[in-house]
């Protein structure tokens, strides 16, 4: 299978994707991804950066190099916009705040939870498997009538599995940061919500809250120029991960709602994603991603009919190939099962071992 756009390594050159909007690719080393797009919005005050990559010296050197190519310097950065609470999007924000005095903008529900407790993923498990082959809502329809789940045993995932630990590299980095008294977790100095307006890059950007991938995700829309800064909400060739580690009862429903709302925006000429290349047909891409999830929901129901009452782990091992088994596959499976339960298409109970057992379809 061919390598996806989002897996391509970061290129050093800076490109102007729209007037006063520069795309700067920063290197990252995360499963399924080879770069993150940091967008520089240049104006008379200096520059605002959207999603300034992972923490650490590799990203910092690359960011300085990209700024120099554009005739800029770290001291010119007056604002950092963080589309959501994953480290490859906020990693350099704290350092930019310290060294440039930059304002740090994020959604009011911004949370560091996944960074400190369990690893979270950027892309779907299916797309992670595709990489291995290549290398070798908002709630509008009212509250669900589904009863709340019984609590999971302490130290377990919501579905009763073993809680994963962050990768060793991240644990060591966090420990080192604590030892030197320096954290890469930024202090948010300006919180925004849906409908707010940011004046950056000589233009007005409207904040669109787009929960699903994370609860605090938002996009920025410039209706005059027809540009959407899409973050991870809509990616060009891979599917964003919808996690079971989420503060909302039905993250997939939230994602469907916000995906539909973004797909309905008229006049978008160019979507600028956080990974992969800019693309034009935003509506077609939102529809393709939604179809993917609807097909997964049907597959989950089919598996459940075959297995009868089954744990999240058992269903995930039928939904995904063996190379993908593990916490992230279970997390995606759980998010889909909970969507079915809240829609009245699945039931579950917690067995004596603490694991949830589902019947769907």
163 pLDDT above the threshold of 80? no
233 pLDDT above the threshold of 70? yes
Percentage of the chain beyond pLDDT 70 is 84
Out of 100-114, 198-212, 273-287, which region has the weakest mean confidence (pLDDT)? 100-114
DSSP 8-class letter at 122: S
Residue 337 forms part of a structural domain: no
Beta-bridge partner residues of 175: none
d(C-alpha 80, C-alpha 330), whole Å:
34
Structure tokens at 240: 């964003």
Q: What is the mean pLDDT of residues 44-60?
A: 96
Residue 325 forms part of a structural domain: no
d(C-alpha 331, C-alpha 114), whole Å:
13
Residue 72 confidence (pLDDT): 97
SS3 at position 329: helix
Residue 148 confidence (pLDDT): 81
Residue 192 forms part of a structural domain: yes
Residue 165 forms part of a structural domain: yes
Q: What is the mean pLDDT of residues 294-311?
A: 98
Residue 355 forms part of a structural domain: no
d(C-alpha 130, C-alpha 124), whole Å:
10
> Which of the four pLDDT bands, split at 50, 70 and 90, describes residue 151?
confident
Average pLDDT along the chain:
88
What sign results for the dihedral spanned by CA atoms 154, 156, 158, 160? negative
Looking at per-residue pLDDT, the higher value among 269 and 165 belongs to 269
Residue 186 forms part of a structural domain: yes
Q: What is the mean pLDDT of residues 314-318?
A: 97
Q: Which of 266, 294, 279 is nearest to 236 (CA)?
A: 279
Residue 137 confidence (pLDDT): 40
Residue 323 forms part of a structural domain: no
Residue 107 forms part of a structural domain: yes
Residue 184 confidence (pLDDT): 79
DSSP 129-172: HHHHHHH-----S----SPPPPPPPTTB-TTSSBPPPPPHHHHH
Expressed as residue numbers, the domain containing 97 is: 5-280
| Tens-digit pLDDT profile for residues 333-342 | 999 999 999 9
| Tens-digit pLDDT profile for residues 171-192 | 566 566 555 445 678 999 999 9
| Tens-digit pLDDT profile for residues 121-138 | 676 666 555 545 544 443
Q: What is the mean pLDDT of residues 237-266?
A: 93
What CATH code is carried by the domain that includes residue 208?
3.60.15.10
Residue 169 confidence (pLDDT): 63
Segment (H or E) for 48: strand 46-50
> Which of the four pLDDT bands, split at 50, 70 and 90, describes residue 114?
very low
| Tens-digit pLDDT profile for residues 16-32 | 999 999 999 999 988 88
Total number of domains constituting the chain: 1
* pTM (predicted TM-score): 0.86
């Amino acid at each position: 299978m061919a390598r996806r756009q989002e897996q391509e390594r970061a290129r050093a050159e800076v490109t102007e994707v729209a007037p006063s909007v520069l795309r700067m690719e920063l290197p990252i080393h995360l499963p399924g991804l080879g770069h993150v797009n940091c967008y520089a919005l240049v104006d008379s005050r200096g520059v605002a950066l959207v999603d300034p990559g992972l923490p650490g010296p590799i990203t910092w050197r690359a960011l300085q190099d990209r700024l120099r190519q554009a005739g800029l310097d770290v001291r010119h950065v007056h604002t950092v916009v963080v589309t959501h609470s994953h480290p490859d999007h906020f990693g350099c924000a704290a350092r930019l705040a310290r060294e440039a005095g930059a304002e740090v903008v994020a959604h009011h529900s911004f949370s560091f939870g996944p960074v400190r407790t369990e690893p979270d993923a950027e892309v779907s498990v299916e797309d992670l498997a595709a990489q291995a082959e290549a290398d070798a809502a908002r709630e509008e329809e009212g509250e669900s009538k589904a009863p709340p789940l019984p609590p999971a045993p302490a130290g377990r995932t919501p579905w009763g599995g073993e809680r994963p630990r962050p990768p060793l590299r991240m644990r060591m980095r966090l420990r080192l940061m604590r030892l030197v008294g320096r954290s890469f977790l930024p202090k948010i100095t300006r919180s925004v919500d849906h409908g707010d307006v940011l004046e950056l890059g000589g233009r007005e950007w409207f904040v669109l809250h787009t929960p699903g991938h994370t609860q605090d995700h938002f996009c920025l829309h410039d209706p005059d120029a027809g540009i959407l800064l899409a973050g991870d909400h809509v990616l060009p060739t891979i599917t964003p991960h919808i996690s079971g580690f989420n503060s909302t009862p039905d993250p997939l429903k939230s994602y469907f709602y916000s995906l539909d709302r973004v797909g309905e925006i008229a006049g978008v000429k160019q979507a600028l994603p956080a990974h992969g290349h800019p693309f034009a047909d935003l509506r077609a891409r939102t529809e393709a991603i939604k179809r993917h999830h609807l097909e997964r929901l049907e597959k989950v129901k089919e598996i459940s009919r075959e297995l009868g009452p089954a744990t999240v782990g058992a269903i995930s091992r039928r939904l995904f190939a063996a190379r993908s088994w593990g916490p992230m596959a279970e997390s995606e499976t759980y998010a889909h099962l909970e969507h079915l339960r809240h829609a009245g298409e699945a039931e579950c109970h917690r067995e004596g071992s603490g694991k949830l057992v589902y019947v769907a379809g």
